[in-house]
Structure 1
Amino acid sequence: MTPAAVTTAFARLHHGDEPLLLPNAWDHASAAAFAAQGFPAVGTTSLAVAAAAGVPDGASVTRDETLRLALTLGRGPFLLTVDAEGGFAQDPDAVGELARQLFAVGAVGINLEDGLGSVPLHAAKIAAVKKAAPTLFVNARTDTHWLGDGDDRDTRRRLDAYRQAGADGVFVPGLTDPARIAALTDWLDVPLNILWSPDGPSLPRLADLGVRRVSLGSLPYRRALGAAVEAVAAVRAGRVPGGATPTYEDVQASASPGQCSRAT
């Protein structure tokens, strides 16, 4: 399958009968486990990349670690989209070069967040990505509901600028109100991505509201950390840990050469 065909296949996942449910991985084993469950696409989570490096998420210092993870996952039997924070640079050309490198190692999508920074600058980054890697699916994130006050006018102003700059889809994490989600999907002409929340609509309800992509973000990583702590605490207390536990052989099998090539 050619790179263009692969990226087109990823775009089509945003226009199916159901929203694209995107689990977010943090290493080869987690990505392989998600793929084995039938997920056609896997994202990365910047929190896990940053936490593994011992730095805060969103600090724009994990460019190299993100590229290494993309190199590990980019040829896997799934479609890969990469959480690249704000592109790890203020220079749009540098962000475009990052996108070119991500595409070269097999990524078909990139998530770029504005962090409530300059709208023209973020739009310029998106345009630079589309120039450097035209078929890379750009999911443009605005943090109006994540870091800001959730102003609907500001949200639309930002999303409109990002769409005009070439974004293929838009992402509004923190937006959970059904009426506001529906109003946004009615207004948009590109797929809307929502971050799943236990306090927000269910996946079927999000589908009814017109959402085309639902990300799990750092949830799987945080749940894995929680399960690990519960397991060692149970052993210390003289109990057998509960929950699902892949065998040693299962994990070894996920690292076999046959798991490292995308099916064509």
Structure 2
Amino acid sequence: MTARCAAFHALHHRARPLLLPNAWDHASAAAFAARGHQAVGTTSLGVAAAAGLPDAAAATRAESLRLARLLRPLPVLLTVDIEGGYADDPSAVADLATDLAALGVVGVNIEDGGVDGTLTPAELTAAKVAAVKAAVPELFVNARTDSWWLGVPDPLAATLHRARVYRAAGADGIFVPGVLDAETVAVLVAGIDGPLNVLYRPGGPSVGELGDLGVARVSTGSLLFRTALGAALDALDTAASGRPSRSEAPSYAEVQRLSPVSAGESFAPGRTS
């Protein structure tokens, strides 16, 4: 476990940033691993939506643990988005991190956006970070601040302040979603003493450009889940309208190969549904 955590830490200190695809189930995680990605994260929106639950409402603790257990056999380093830790009690968040680490998870995201849509006090998030690091020192704790997403006044100053507080508490990296322009990213890189994680946004800076700015990690967040849902709707509309398909879906056999076949279970290669 320690070696796996060390390998994940090392991925944040390369010339090219870590491009982290975010999965929502076994098939998506297995597909990303099959494409050669060494590390995979989870997307809280995707996990929540797939279970019929709201995101950012501290409702998916059980689902996150279940998914981590399901993904354990995959040849990939797994980091889990645990929202705000599903609790205000730092010891409860540390207990969750310990359970995840026992399943082979090498990192967690802890965010400071509260379930009421406001930023939680920086000291509370810092206490959660410190508790997790005390319980599982080798775990990569990515502290996320939602200063931009929640529209706080002067988000740059708020982000830099919170980043300093979280780093002092032991956070290994700082995640700042919602930043769109290269100039602000460069200021954040210069002002944050540690690996910076940003969210990939179509039409924004490329992964290579973000790396040139000094970004250590680029997450896809819920983008891949939403894209998959959009592709499903497009395929459905294609069937309904008879118009040409815009893309080709993976074959039944390709998807079947992503899942381990249970003992005694037969595989019908001609099946398509």
TM-score bracket, shorter-length normalisation: over 0.9
User: Which deviates more from structure 2 when the two are superposed, residues 21-30 or residues 140-149?
Assistant: 140-149
The answer for the alignment partner of 2:54 in structure 1 is: 56
Shift of 1:239: 4.0
Structure 2: how far apart are the matches of 1:52 and 1:26? 8
> Which of 111, 123, 129 matches 1:126?
129
Find the structure with the greater CA-based Rg: 2
Quick one: percent identity of the two aligned structures?
57
How many pairs were matched up?
256
State the superposition RMSD in angstroms: 1.4
Question: 5+ unaligned residues in a row in structure 1: which ranges?
Answer: 259-264
* 1:186-201 alignment, distance < 5 Å: 186-201=190-205
Question: 5+ unaligned residues in a row in structure 2: which ranges?
Answer: 114-118, 263-273
The answer for the alignment partner of 2:22 in structure 1 is: 24
Structure 2: how far apart are the matches of 1:174 and 1:196? 9
Shift of 1:254: 0.8
Structure 1: how far apart are the matches of 2:233 and 2:91? 42
What TM-score do the two structures reach when normalised by structure 1?
A: 0.94
SS of aligned partner of 1:15: coil
What TM-score do the two structures reach when normalised by structure 2?
A: 0.91
Matched AA of 1:156: L
User: Which deviates more from structure 2 when the two are superposed, residues 58-67 or residues 240-249?
Assistant: 240-249
Q: Give 4+ residue runs of structure 1 displaced > 4 Å after superposition.
A: none
The answer for the alignment partner of 1:219 in structure 2 is: 223
Matched AA of 1:218: S
Per-residue CA deviation, residues 24-61 of structure 1 (Å, 9 max, x unaligned), is: 00111101111111111000000011112222210001
Q: Does 1:117 align with 2:120?
A: yes
The answer for the alignment partner of 1:161 in structure 2 is: 165
Structure 2: how far apart are the matches of 1:218 and 1:183? 25
1:191–1:211 Cα contact (<8 Å) kept: yes
2:85–2:93 Cα contact (<8 Å) kept: yes
Matched AA of 1:119: A
Q: Does 1:233 align with 2:237?
A: yes
